[in-house]
């Protein structure tokens, strides 16, 4: 299927629309730095939740998920635990509220709230800024790889993928710079609507062009089974030899070990709280702590069904109609081409333009919020703090424009050096974020952890994540995570114990306002000397039970559309029953207990 004038017209209309939104939002966004980066804390949580879901519905990640669904079948629903995707459950249950109570603008500013203003706090502040900028640039490089490879298949001009990526990133940069958080949220709502409609359209095509029998004949035994034994036991021999090669290259044949390692990494990663990126920014942009938790819940509700509906639909069309072409590629097989092939051959003219506009929207929604979040660190945590503390709002907004542009250029530069989507993705989720976990768990739960320990843990983790690929080439990052985590944890604890605790007033302020559970005994005693009526947080067991149930709830949101597209009705109805049961449990044990925790922006910042 080739592009027609109708398809091009639809895409051009979409691009013009998002640019117009950016300029229309520019006046409101330019009122202050707070409006530019957090929307003035006036945006309702459902809108932020949908915008957050749209930001996670990225085109590069969708290509990645299609590849894994194609090879691993139903078991691929576990693979996104690499991020881990269930961090949203921990956020909705308790961590988003803890974070929002601070009233700060960025993750680096939160460090001052946690550790004070001494040398250790300054070092830890700088480590967060460096981590945030490295992760933002890495995410932009990840987007660069995906959008270039995708666009080169569809657009009619004979340009290299890198040129398409630069052009599309340039257009997105314009509206992000113009409208800040306001334009990001408004365009994300438009993009989410297009993405959801596109997912439904592709699902309809998949279910009318394939049958359950055709799908079963195209996959190995056990492919449609959700559960697994010690080994994966998927044998693509006679169907797609490259499938076995892919599984061997991934190193996930012992699937139980793989899942246990993901849990070993994913649970502490979730307890560390959001990384300093757009997810954290959306939490800080909510109106109060209660809405921060509800925003993360709404993100899950909005994201998984439409995204996995699209992934499964593209995957089954690829299995039935593209498998033979992949066989003919031999050693040059590229599973990341499954998604472009399916759309190019099965979506009719007119609808193709709409679907491609939706997938461009997926790219733009991830890109725009990443750039906006990254610029906030440059402006708020570097420029204003160290260079121009007295800068006017107008100057700060102008610096936001410049910072956004520089971050995009850095992401493009790194994108040119990467070999594949999977290479960048694996390093981000298992390498870079692996070094982030230990100090960021300790910061919430241990009173003796100080700014020096935080800096040491972050520096050790970041250094190890950069060195390990050089000294252990070809080793999957997930398997080196325990060593990476151990190095970061030892540095965090050791340096904290070798240096003085943070000031008592800093610790008491953090503890009283955040109200975390954990090892805060000495601080609790000091608080009660001043306020005997203070009641500590005793919700550890409740929060952990809710998080465990929430992970099952979230998993059922993923399996439901998979089983629907596969027409595996037994699995579909079981998923629906599990979803209903876990929803009722969370309604009673989480939502009903949120109470009336509505705090104004002024009191949260006070």
**In DSSP terms, which residues pair with 446 in a beta bridge?**
519
Of the candidates 257, 274, 253, 362, the one whose C-alpha atom is nearest the C-alpha of residue 86 is 274
Would you state the pLDDT for residue 350?
80
Would you state the pLDDT for residue 601?
35
Q: Residue ranges per domain, the chain?
A: 5-418+537-605
Q: CA angle 86-88-94, nearest 5°?
A: 115
When pLDDT is cut at 50, 70 and 90, the band that residue 272 belongs to is: very high
Residue 593: count other Cβ atoms within 10 Å of its Cβ.
Answer: 11
Least confident of 33-47, 93-107, 259-273: 33-47
**Higher per-residue pLDDT: 428 or 16:** 16
Would you state the pLDDT for residue 377?
75
Mean pLDDT of 443-447: 96
**Higher per-residue pLDDT: 585 or 137:** 585
For 350: left if phi > 0, alpha if psi spans -120 to 50, otherwise beta; the answer is left
For residues 540 and 527, what is the distance between their CA atoms, to the nearest angstrom? 20
**284-311 per-position pLDDT tens digit:** 889 999 999 999 999 999 989 999 999 9
Q: Where are the alpha helices (DSSP H) in 431-568?
A: 437-445, 451-471, 477-498, 504-514, 521-530, 540-566
Would you state the pLDDT for residue 461?
85
The answer to whether residue 94 scores a pLDDT higher than 90 is yes
Query: pTM of the predicted model, to two decimals?
Result: 0.85
For residues 162 and 152, what is the distance between their CA atoms, to the nearest angstrom? 9
Q: Where are the alpha helices (DSSP H) in 286-350?
A: 289-321, 323-329, 338-346
Angle, helices 45-56/351-376, rounded to nearest 10 degrees: 110
The answer to whether residue 23 scores a pLDDT higher than 70 is no
For 392: left if phi > 0, alpha if psi spans -120 to 50, otherwise beta; the answer is beta
Would you state the pLDDT for residue 509?
95
In whole numbers, what is the pLDDT of the chain averaged over residues?
84
Task: Kindly state the DSSP code that residue 326 receives in the 8-state scheme.
Answer: H
Of the candidates 201, 36, 68, 104, the one whose C-alpha atom is nearest the C-alpha of residue 604 is 104
Q: Where are the alpha helices (DSSP H) in 220-288?
A: 241-250, 255-271, 278-285
**Higher per-residue pLDDT: 24 or 268:** 268
Task: Kindly state the DSSP code that residue 446 receives in the 8-state scheme.
Answer: B
Three-state SS for 519? strand
Q: Which of 240-244, 345-349, 390-394 has the highest mean pLDDT?
A: 240-244
Instruction: Provide the CATH topology of domain 5-418+537-605.
Output: Sodium/glucose cotransporter (1.20.1730)
Do residues 43 and 387 touch, judged by C-beta distance below 8 A?
no
Least confident of 18-27, 83-92, 334-343, 452-461: 18-27
Kindly report the backbone phi and psi dihedral angles of residue 519, in degrees, each rounded to the nearest multiple of 5, phi listed first.
-95, 80
The answer to whether residue 391 scores a pLDDT higher than 90 is no
Burial label, 474 (beta-carbon count in 10 A; 0-12, 13-18, 19+): exposed
Residue owning tokens 């290509």:
63
The answer to whether residue 605 scores a pLDDT higher than 50 is no
C-alpha separations of 218 from 243, 255, 319, 346 in Å: 12, 22, 6, 18
The answer to whether residue 604 scores a pLDDT higher than 50 is no
Cα 289 versus chain centre, distance = 21
Residue owning tokens 């809405």:
291
Angle, helices 521-530/504-514, rounded to nearest 10 degrees: 90
Would you state the pLDDT for residue 405?
85
Kindly report the backbone phi and psi dihedral angles of residue 330, in degrees, each rounded to the nearest multiple of 5, phi listed first.
65, -130
Do residues 149 and 133 touch, judged by C-beta distance below 8 A?
no
The answer to whether residue 238 scores a pLDDT higher than 80 is yes
Would you state the pLDDT for residue 451?
94
For residues 29 and 23, what is the distance between their CA atoms, to the nearest angstrom? 10
603's tokens: 């009191």
């Amino acid at each position: 299927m080739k592009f027609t004038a109708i398809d091009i017209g639809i895409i051009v209309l979409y691009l013009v629309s998002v640019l117009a939104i950016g300029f229309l939002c520019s006046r409101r966004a330019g009122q202050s730095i707070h409006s530019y980066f957090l929307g003035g804390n006036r945006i309702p949580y459902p809108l932020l939740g949908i915008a957050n879901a749209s930001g996670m519905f990225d085109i590069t990640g969708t290509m990645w998920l299609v590849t894994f669904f194609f090879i691993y079948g139903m078991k691929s629903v576990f693979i996104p635990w690499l991020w881990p995707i269930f961090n949203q459950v921990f956020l909705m249950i308790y961590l988003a509220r803890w974070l929002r109570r601070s009233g700060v603008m960025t993750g680096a500013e939160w460090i001052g709230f946690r550790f004070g203003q001494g040398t250790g706090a300054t070092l830890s502040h700088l480590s967060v800024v460096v981590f945030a900028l490295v992760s933002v640039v890495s995410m932009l490089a990840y987007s660069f790889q995906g959008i270039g490879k995708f666009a080169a298949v569809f657009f009619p001009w004979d340009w290299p993928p890198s040129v398409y990526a630069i052009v599309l990133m340039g257009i997105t940069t314009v509206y992000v710079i113009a409208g800040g958080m306001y334009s990001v949220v408004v365009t994300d709502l438009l993009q989410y609507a297009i993405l959801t409609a596109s997912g439904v359209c592709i699902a309809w095509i998949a279910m009318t062009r394939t049958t359950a029998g055709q799908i079963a004949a195209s996959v190995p035994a056990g492919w449609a089974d959700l559960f697994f034994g010690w080994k994966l036991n998927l044998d693509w021999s006679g169907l797609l030899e490259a499938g076995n090669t892919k599984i061997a290259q991934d190193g996930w044949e012992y699937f139980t070990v793989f899942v246990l390692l993901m849990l070993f990494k994913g649970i502490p990663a979730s307890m560390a709280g959001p990384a300093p990126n757009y997810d954290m920014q959306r939490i800080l942009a909510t109106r109060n702590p209660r809405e921060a938790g509800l925003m993360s819940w709404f993100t899950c509700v909005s994201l998984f069904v439409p995204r996995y509906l699209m992934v499964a639909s593209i995957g089954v069309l690829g299995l039935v109609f593209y498998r033979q072409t992949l066989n003919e590629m031999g050693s040059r097989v590229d599973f990341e081409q499954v998604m472009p092939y399916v759309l190019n051959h099965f979506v009719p003219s007119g609808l193709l333009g709409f679907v491609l506009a939706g997938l461009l929207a997926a790219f733009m929604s991830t890109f725009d919020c990443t750039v906006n979040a990254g610029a906030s660190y440059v402006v708020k945590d570097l420029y204003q703090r160290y260079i121009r503390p007295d800068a006017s709002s107008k100057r700060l907004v102008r610096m936001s424009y410049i910072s956004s542009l520089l971050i995009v250029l850095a992401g493009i530069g790194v994108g040119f050096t990467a070999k594949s989507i999977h290479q960048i993705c694996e390093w981000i989720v298992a390498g870079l974020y692996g070094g982030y976990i230990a100090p960021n768990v300790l910061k919430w739960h241990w009173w003796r952890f100080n700014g020096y320990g935080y800096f040491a843990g972050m520096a050790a983790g970041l250094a190890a994540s950069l060195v390990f690929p050089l000294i252990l080439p070809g080793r999957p990052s997930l398997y080196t995570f325990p060593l990476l985590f151990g190095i970061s944890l030892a540095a965090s604890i050791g340096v904290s114990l070798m240096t003085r605790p943070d000031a008592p007033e800093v610790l008491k302020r953090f503890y009283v306002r955040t109200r975390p559970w954990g090892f805060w005994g000495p601080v609790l005693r000091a608080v009660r000397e001043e306020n005997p009526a203070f009641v500590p947080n005793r919700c550890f067991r409740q929060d952990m039970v809710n998080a465990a149930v929430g992970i099952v709830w979230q998993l059922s949101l993923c399996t439901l559309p998979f089983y629907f597209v596969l027409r595996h009705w037994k699995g579909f109805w079981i998923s629906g029953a599990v979803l209903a049961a876990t929803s009722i449990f969370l309604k009673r044990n989480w939502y009903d207990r949120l109470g009336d925790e509505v705090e104004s922006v002024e009191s949260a910042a006070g």
